[in-house]
Structures are given as C-alpha cells and as structure tokens.
Structure 1
Amino acid sequence: MAFSFPGTNRVTTLRGILTRSLAYSRTYNTRNLEHYWYPCWNHTLVDLTADNSRLLVAPQFPLYISPHADIDDQQETNQDGDEEVDDSPRGEGEGGDEGPWIEGAASLGTTPQVGAQPQADSEELMADLSFSTAATTPDAKAVARVTDFAILHISPQQSTALPRRYEGYRVDRLTVPLILEEKRFPSRSLAGDAFTDKLKTRVREAQEAAVFQVALLFRKFPAMQSVMVIAAAGPYWTNTTFRRSPTGRLSAEEFQKAMRIDDFAEIYRTVDHRRWSKALRLNTSESTHRFRAIYNNLAKLG
C-alpha cells in the first residue's frame, strides 16, 4: 500500500505545489538561494508529523554548549508554564487557544545595541547563511551551530496542580529525533554532468555540516543515542542515522577546540553512521517511500 503523508489533503497538496513553485521561481528566487526552499521543507516535515501532537517542527533550531552552564538543558527542572502569563489577545482574558541526478552555520542576530548588519553582497555568502532572529548575549566560550530544521519530540506532563494556562500541560522532556540541513541548489545554467557534479558537491556540504550539528546535539542531550539526519540541496535529499561513537570520545576542552577550528576529522570520530542514502528528489515515488521509513521511526517514539 502506497504511503501518504498524514497531513495530506486538498489544501496541503496545493500548498506543497506552491512552495516548490516559489523555490523554482526566476522572478522571486533570482539568485537561486537555499532560503526559498525552506517553505517547501517546512511544509514536508509538518505534513509528515501532522498526526502526532508530540512532534514539533522547529526551523533554525540552535544547538550549543557552554562551559558556563550549571546544568545541561535536558537535566534542568523544567519551569516552563509554571508562571501565569496572559499571552492571549488584549481584552480576551484567559481565552482561547528539478534536475536529473540519480544517484556552522552563521547566526545573524537582531542586536539593537550594535546596530544593523551591512547587507552582504556576496551571493555565495548569502547562500550559506542560516538565520537566527533572537537577540542573545555572546558567550566567548560557547560553541554553536544552527540546523535548518529539527523535529522535536516532547513528553508532556499534565496535572491539576499545574497552572491553568496551557490546560495544565508542561513539557517534561525534550529530544531531537531528526535534523535537516539544506544547502543551495545548483545554478539553473548547469546541465548534464556539470549539474550532477555540482549537486553532489552541495549535498556533501550539507552532510559535512550535519556532522558538526550531530556532535553538538549529542553533547547537549547526553541521554540521546541516535538521531536521523536529512542532508539536502534544493529538493534533492539524502539521509542516514547517526549514533554515538563508543571509541571517539573527546574531553570538553578537546571538543570545543575541534568545533571552533572546524576540525572535521576530530569531530567525525565522535559519531558513527551508516552510509548516506542515494539522493532523491522530493515528490517522487521513491522519495515518498523513503519518508515512510522515517515516519515509522518517529511513530515509535509515541
């Protein structure tokens, strides 16, 4: 039986078509940048997880560690939702809620104290930036990457002892079962072998960027043992599953140094993974079949 994304209906099918139309548009995506593929990938992941309320799609999800943190985020006592905060609208009180291939990330913050960032003129620079809109206080010793998309799995807790806001729910546990890194689609002027070679290069860039993100993810969430990863260039994607390496452990100092100097070989030793799958284009039968396996793995989380 053919697999159908849980969120698929007449409206979402049209939305998917429009997200691809926007990404391919020569009028709006004149420079063929990766960011115009974000709506398409967001739509894909939301459709994939539509039948599970515990799975959340998080664009531009930050992965970082800091030696100044007293406790890892996963081990903190979660106080989110403990305080009665009226975030409802004013006056409503507590009211309602295409090519033929077959086969880290910088963070731009909005920090008013520093002033506006100059507009980047380099097409290559703009193509590879991952954007974060959160104003943060720099930590000189923190190491960080921003993954383009993450699927979060939350374990909620509900109790009458909790505040009335959020229907008494509080997030008790968070894990990240999947991350996705997107790179720029090859130039429209390329064809044949030139297109194939450039596509392979771009997918490889996404795969290498994902290695750093996975290593940080395992440091930030010490209880996690594996994570599914999608590496993409435009609509073409490949995937694998990463696990912790039992032999490639680094001290905190060694890990932070390797991350800061982008020492791929050293970071690569800390993770294990199977071979990357063949690159497929979104919305093909092979691609949809592969997503079925990802869906089944996510469903096991509950």
Structure 2
Amino acid sequence: MASEQLLPHKARLETSYAFSRTFNPRNLEILWYPLWCQTLFDLVADAPNLIVAPQFPVWITKHHDGKLEDADDGDDPEEIKEIVREEQDAAAKIQVPVNEPEEGDYEVGAGDISFASTVPEKNAEGVLVDFAILGLGAVPQPKEKLRYGGWRITGASVRLLVELKRFASRSLKDDELNAEILAHIQEAKSDLVKQAGYLFIKDGTKNSVMAIAAAGPFWSGATIHRDDVKLTMHVLSTDDPSYQPPGEKFVNRVLKWNKIIRLDGASSAAASEARLRAVCKKMREMGV
C-alpha cells in the first residue's frame, strides 16, 4: 500500500487513540502527541534542512546552563561503547544486595517534569515548547570528524513553535464544546506569545517565528513578529537584574490568528493540509 494511503489511516488511528475513553480516560494532552508528532514529521519529510524538535527549550535559566563544551570535548561513540562494556564486565563481578521495592513504593522525583515548563514558572529552570521545527545550516566535515554525523552545524533557527493543549471534555456538545475548544486554544496562544518573547530575547537577530496553537486535533496558526510582543519581552526581561529598559512605551499588538480548523476532519482535512503546506513553504523560505 502506498505511503500516502497509510498516513491518513495512521492519523485516524492516532486520533481514535487520543479520544479513547479506555486508553485516555483522563483526557490527557500527552496522548495527542502521536498525532501531532507524525503530522509535523510528515510536513518536513521532503525538506532536508528542517527538523522536528519535541520539547524544545526556548529558554534555559543561566544557573542550569552547565559546563560549556568546546570542539575538543566528547568521545567517539565507539570509544564510549568500549568503556561502557568494560565497566559492565567489572560490575558483573561484584554482587551488591538490592532491596526490591514493595507494592506502592515509588522513586522520589520519578516522572517529575519540573525541570522546565511550557510557560514561565517561579521554580522552572527552563521554558519548553511542545514542538519546534528548526532550520539547520551545515557544511560537510573532514573524514576524521565523521563520528559527529559528518556535518558541522553552522546555524540553527527556530521556524515554528507548536503548543498543544488537551481536548475539551468529551461530554460537551455543540456551543459548549466549541467554547471549550476555543478556551484551550486561547490558552495555547497565550503560552506561545511568552515562548516567542523568550525566543526573541535569546536571539537578538530573530524578527519572526511561526506558531501553531492546538487543542487535540483543532488548531490555529499565526506569524509572531518581534514588534508584536514588545510588552511581553519587557516583562520577561525584568527578571534579569542587568536589564535596562529603553524609555519607550511597550505594547503588544493583536496577532492575526487564522480560523480554527480540525487537523483530520472529514470536511476540513483538505483545508488543513493546504494550510500546513503553506506553513511549510514559508518555513523553507526563512533564512537560518
């Protein structure tokens, strides 16, 4: 069967999986990731320099930057395998008693994702966006550098930010359903404004980024320009003691989000696909 026939079927499966009361009884956002992950990977499949980056950090606090590595840092993957194998062989000769956890025990911090948040929080050490699409610039590496994939990355530019929220309550219908979908997408839009603000602060040369706000299979898109979020950037920058605001008055512009549409709907799939193709075309045209 041709791949173009498989993909719509797979999208239907992923949608049904996220809607399933058996496998998603709590209506979790995370179970919509398969549908969006595949949609984005398919979108850039024919664009060799565009990559999908799930859970991409648009901001990391300075105290969590860690030690910077230079060009000479790092080991050859083959060397790492040999070291690990030797350590495993040595460990196999030492028997250490292990206490098996009893039922109900759990590891402190297991599943803890407080390292970063999709929106700025007091204790968060970074700000992640659910998905980003990056444009990479690269040049071939000499043969001795093939251990790093054979390319030297010369530039990495965020072209698209995607923020995903859970779907509306499945018990709702008609106007109530539409209102809750709209509320969840509005929440994603607000997060994206902050994420774009952080992105522009981090990269002083970047003037725009595309954005998708989604709730389950429903989504809306816009292009966010630096001048659109000056107030947001100012507010976020005040956390930096060295920040010296200019004398101008800061305002946020009203963004031009397009109509909410369903990614996989029987009547809207073609329109959604056309809109996504337009997004991809614009991403291709952006510089690194």
TM-score by length of 2: 0.71
**Given residue 85 of structure 1, which amino acid in structure 2 is its aligned partner?**
D
* 1:199 Cα deviation after fit: 1.1
Distance 2:70 2:181 in 1: 43
Contact residue 60 and residue 132 of structure 1 kept, 8 A? no
Asked if the contact 1:64/1:142 (under 8 Å) is kept, the reply is no
- Cα offset, 1:278, TM superposition: 0.7
Q: 1:297 corresponds to which letter in structure 2?
A: K
Which amino acid in 1 is paired with 2:258? S
- 2:199 corresponds in structure 1 to 217
Q: Higher relative contact order at CA 8 Å, sep ≥6: structure 1 or structure 2? A: 1
Which ranges in structure 2 are unaligned for 5 or more consecutive residues?
83-106, 117-121, 241-249
Are the equivalent residues in 2 in contact too, given 1:66–1:141 (CA < 8 A)?
Answer: no
Q: Which amino acid counterpart does residue 26 of structure 1 have in structure 2?
A: R
Q: Distance in 1 between matches of 2:233 and 2:181?
A: 36
Query: Is 1:85 the equivalent of 2:76?
Result: yes
- The aligned counterpart of 1:28 is 23
What secondary structure does 2:164 align onto? strand
Q: Secondary structure at the match of 2:46?
A: coil
Match of 1:191 among 160, 168, 173: 173
- Give the alignment's Cα RMSD to 1 decimal: 3.6
**Equivalent-residue separation in structure 2 for 1:149 and 1:240 (angstroms):** 15
Task: Give the corresponding residue for 2:213.
Answer: 231
Q: Which amino acid aligns with 1:59?
A: P
Number of positions where the alignment pairs a residue of Structure 1 with one of Structure 2: 242
Post-superposition Cα deviations, 1:4-23, rounded to whole Å, max 9, x if no partner, equal xxx95344333222211211
Name the counterpart of 2:54. Answer: 59
Q: For 1:211 and 1:287, locate their aligned partners in 2 and report how far apart those are by CA, in whole Å.
A: 22
- Is the CA contact (8 Å cut-off) linking 2:229 and 2:253 kept in structure 1? no
| Residue 9, structure 1, aligned to residue 1, structure 2 | no
When Rg is computed on C-alpha atoms for both structures, the one with the higher figure is 2
Task: Give, in angstroms, the shift of residue 28 of structure 1.
Answer: 0.4
Equivalent in the alignment of 1:277? 258
Change (3 A) 1:271 1:249: closer
Partner of 1:182: 164
1:102-181 paired onto structure 2 within 5 Å? 116-117=108-109, 131=113, 144-160=126-142, 163-181=145-163
Q: Quick one: distance in 2 between partners of 1:51 and 1:119?
A: 35
Name 1:298's counterpart in structure 2. Answer: 283
* 2:41 is equivalent to residue 46 of structure 1: yes
Provide the secondary structure at the position in 2 that maps to 1:16.
helix
Greater shift, 270-279 or 220-229, is seen at: 270-279
Partner of 2:88: none
Closer/same/farther in 2, CA of residues 88 and 77 from structure 1, 3 Å limit: closer
Percent identity over the alignment is: 34
User: How far apart are residue 49 of structure 1 and its match?
Assistant: 0.3
Q: Is the 8 A contact 2:228 2:254 kept in 1?
A: no
Where is the helix percentage greater, Structure 1 or Structure 2? 2
Distance change >3 Å, CA 298–CA 8, structure 1 → 2: farther
Shift of 1:181: 0.4
Structure 1, residues 158-183: CA drift from partner, whole Å, max 9, x if none?
A: 13276122453121111100000011
User: For structure 1, which runs of at least 5 residues remain unmatched after alignment?
Assistant: 1-6, 71-75, 92-114, 121-130, 135-139, 260-268
Aligned residues of 2:161 and 2:209 also touching (Cα < 8 A): yes
Are positions 1:244 and 2:226 aligned together?
yes
TM-score under structure 1 length normalisation? 0.68
User: 2:14 aligned to 11, 14, 19, which one?
Assistant: 19
Shift, 1:152, TM fit: 1.1
Q: Deviations over 1:85-142 (max 9, x none)?
A: 2159958xxxxxxxxxxxxxxxxxxxxxxx623889xxxxxxxxxx5789xxxxx998
Q: Is the 8 A contact 1:244 1:270 kept in 2?
A: no
State the 4+ residue runs in structure 1 displaced beyond 4 angstroms.
67-70, 81-84, 87-91, 131-134, 140-143, 249-252, 269-273
